[in-house]
Amino acid sequence: MNTRTLARLSAAIEAATGVALIAVPDLVARLLLGVGLSSSGIAVGRIAGFGLFSLGLACWPTADDATPSAVRALFAYNLLAGLYLGYLRVSGEFVAFLLWPACALHVLLALLFARPAYSKARANKQ
């Protein structure tokens, strides 16, 4: 899978998740974490949705290729999200059925972005 396709896939997933958080943050939390949200949690969930939607838009690749900064941003986001979701599941506080798949998807995307993120950063230094 080339970097442009990978960036497009990841950006689309993040934008879609952002839209879902904006529209129905309580449902997303129930599916992902197995718990509902308080009214303040719904507000924070929607703000997170704005951020994810914006990340998806900002990282959408151009006609040529994904920019190095977009690749690094998607790598960092997927790595951190995957590690944190895994931590939440291992800690035992959250046990929803989508937690492991979401963790695995983010870790897989981070692994796929690792080489392009590193090689593009290295190429920019030269």
The pTM for the full model equals 0.87
Going residue by residue through the chain (126 aa), what tens digit of pLDDT does each one get?
789 999 999 999 999 999 999 999 999 999 999 999 999 999 999 999 999 999 999 999 888 788 999 999 999 999 999 999 999 999 988 889 899 999 999 999 999 999 998 885 556 555
Under 8 Å between Cβ of 7 and 61: yes
Chain position carrying tokens 């046990």: 95
Q: What per-residue string of b and e applies to 17-46 under the rule 16 or more CB within 10 Å gives b?
A: bbebbbebbbebbeebbeeebeeeebeebb
The two three-digit tokens of residue 48, written as one number:
């997170």
Domain positions in the chain:
3-125
Residue type, 69: S
